[in-house]
Amino acid sequence: MSNKYLALIQSKVNHQFDELKIRVKQTTSLIKARVNAYWFKAALLGVAIWMFYVKDVSINLNLKAKASNLMAVQSSEQITNKDDLEAKPQNTSLVGKKSDEKSRTKSKKQEDDNLMNTYSNLPFDGNSLELSDSERRKLEKIQKQKAYVKKYAALAKKEMKDYGIPASITLAQGLLESNAGESKLAKNNRNHFGMKCFSRKCKKGHCSNFTDDSHKDFFKIFETPADSYRAHSKLLRNGSRYNGLFKLKKSDYKGWSRGLRKAGYATDPNYDKKLIRLIEELKLYRYD
């Protein structure tokens, strides 16, 4: 009997122990199932909180993606509201007046120093892209001077070869005395060097009267401008007052210009300065 009761008791104990094992197993499975169900969401929530408050970026979830690719994170600088897109004025009470004025002064100086892409280096007036009247006249004058040089440069070089007078001096005198070939004396008399006639027994057509220093000034008439150039060369070469010029180098256009003034070629006290300016502005020394 005792063995029968012991066997029954043991059977019940084993049954209860089996039920306990089943319950523990069920509870463990339930816990695992719940953990498996919520751990991804919990981790995702933690990452989102960390990125929002620590990294200051925005998260963009792609809700249409598959389960294996539920989240697409795009990092960008966070903009909290629309006003951040616009520049906000500073509190000027916090900015020193002196430093502000210094900054404006520096900015103005930099603007003044930067002369590129401005009208300051162009021959225009400041309000339009058209030449001013004075600049237009100056440009037209330069064009006429260049045309004169182009026309008579070969002739001046020939006279330099034959008579030793720098071509730059001949061209500069021709430009100055004839007003770039447009004076009445140059047009009517073909006289490009203001050469006067001092003969008291002139034949008809030899000279004509032009008002210059007095109403009785007579200037020679030439058949061609080339004749005028040749007469000019002979005057300098054969005139005793110009002998000192030929001791100078042909490249010394300044010395030649001053020598012509001192020798009394013209009554203008600035005659040499005008010749030098023409030579340098038009680069006439290239022909010497």
User: How do residues 5-18 score in pLDDT, each as one tens digit?
Assistant: 676 677 777 777 77
Per-residue pLDDT, 100: 53
Q: How confident is the model at residue 25 (pLDDT cuts 50, 70, 90)?
A: confident
**Residue 172 contacts by C-beta under 8 Å, 6 or more apart in sequence?**
253, 257, 275, 278, 279, 284
Decide: helix, strand or coil at residue 282: coil
Instruction: Write the DSSP string, 124-163.
Output: B-TTSSSBPHHHHHHHHHHHHHHHHHHHHHHHHHHHHHHH
Q: What sign results for the dihedral spanned by CA atoms 158, 164, 169, 173?
A: negative
Question: What is the average pLDDT value for the chain, to the nearest integer?
Answer: 75
CB contact at 8 A, 60 and 73: yes
CB contact at 8 A, 230 and 194: no
Tokens 């909290």, residue? 80
User: How do residues 227-266 score in pLDDT, each as one tens digit?
Assistant: 999 999 999 999 999 999 999 999 999 999 999 999 999 9
pTM > 0.75: yes or no: no
Of 68, 67, 50, nearest in space to 59 by CA: 50
Q: How confident is the model at residue 21 (pLDDT cuts 50, 70, 90)?
A: confident
Per-residue pLDDT, 49: 75
pLDDT greater than 50 at residue 271:
yes
Choose between 226 and 41: higher pLDDT: 226
Of 200, 288, 195, nearest in space to 239 by CA: 195
E strands within the chain? 207-209, 218-220
Q: Compute the distance between CA of residue 185 and CA of residue 176 in angstroms, rounded to an integer.
A: 12
User: How do residues 69-122 score in pLDDT, each as one tens digit?
Assistant: 444 444 444 444 444 444 444 443 334 444 455 555 555 444 444 444 444 444
Residues in the chain: 288
